[in-house]
Amino acid sequence: MDKIVIYHKPTCSKSRAGVKFLEEKGVDFEIVKYYEKPFTKNKLKTLLKKMNMHPVDLLRRREKAYKELDFKNKKYTKEQIIEFMVNDPNLIERPIVERGEKAVLGRPTENIAEII
């Protein structure tokens, strides 16, 4: 069986809720604190593919950096958006939970049930 991995930011309430959800379900999982071990471009692309999401769908729209980069008015390429997210992990919605060939965004937390 494929290992479950949660990409986690301990200071984020939604991310903590994701960890708690997995603990309550009694499943084995690994925590990757992606602020300490940042995403690579390739890893982020792989996760996006597994979630069937476009990079723009994974952006945290309330983040200061989102507003500063003026995503509403500027047209960035997928590559540019991924580059922004790799360079500033605050732009990435969280938590992301991965298992084998599938991944989900744990917002809402119940989404995690899809892969456990």
Clarify whether 12 is annotated catalytic: yes
Secondary structure in 3-state letters for the chain: CCCEEEEECCCCHHHHHHHHHHHHHCCCEEEEECCCCCCCHHHHHHHHHHHCCCHHHHECCCCHHHHHCCCCCCCCCHHHHHHHHHHCHHHECCCEEEECCEEEECCCHHHHHHHC
Active-site residue (options: 12, 17, 32, 53): 12
**Active site (catalytic) residues:** 12
